[in-house]
Amino acid sequence: MVDHITYVGPYVVAKSRPVKKSKDMETCTNTSCERHGTHLGCAYCPVCGTKVEMGKVEFDGYSAEPFELHEVVDQKMYYQTGEKGTDYWFSNLTTMDERAGRSFNVGEEEQYFPVTPKMMKEEIKAFMELHADEIEKLRQAYDKVEILWGVLAYWR
Per-residue model confidence as pLDDT tens for the chain (156 residues): 777 777 888 999 999 999 998 888 898 889 899 988 888 888 999 999 999 989 888 888 898 988 888 888 888 898 888 888 999 999 888 766 666 666 555 555 666 777 889 989 988 998 999 999 999 999 999 999 999 999 888 777
d(CA 14, CA 151): 16
The answer to whether 54 and 26 are in contact (CB under 8 A) is: yes
CA 37 to chain centroid, in Å, comes to 27
The answer to whether 127 and 10 are in contact (CB under 8 A) is: yes
Rg (CA), the chain: 21
* pTM for this entry: 0.74
